[in-house]
Amino acid sequence: MRQSPTFRRATRDDLPQIVRLLADDPLGASRESPGEVIPECYLRAFEAICADPRNELVVAELDGAVVGTLQLTFIPGLTYRGGERAQIEGVRVSADQRGRGIGQAMITWAVEQARARGCRLVQLTTDRRRPEAIRFYQKLGFQPSHTGMKYHLPGP
């Protein structure tokens, strides 16, 4: 039987591993800056997430090692009769742990957090260039219901 991961809020000490996870695919490799010294931009973002009660940066652990991460954001809104929605972002599983049920456990955990909070909807986006991720999310019950659009702004 496979061991199930445990979930907890990320700490500042987790940042090097989280950034490595975010960079560990062709899309992330071109936009992230992993390393032992974490650039200040990640530290500022981490502090902002921690200070926001509607945001949770979460890690999944096996035997004390970080093997996955995701960000869960709760968004208030008027739609769905004023129902709150949960947004799942930045889902990553360590390359050496993929295919072992960790991603499914992470998403199931996030959906349960949203359900316990009374959210009316759980949403996520994934890049069209990740067909395996699209199949994975559909297998878990997510439906491609909308066309997502992004407008990238120049960075510092």
**Is the pTM above the cut of 0.85?**
yes
Beta-carbon contacts of residue 104 (< 8 Å; ≥ 6 apart): 136, 140
Token output for 39: 């650039």
8 Å CB contact between 28 and 34: no
Average pLDDT over residues 48-77: 97
**CATH number for the domain formed by residue range(s) 6-139:** 3.40.630.30
pLDDT digit string (tens) for 68-127? Answer: 999 999 999 999 999 999 999 999 999 999 999 999 999 999 999 999 999 999 999 999
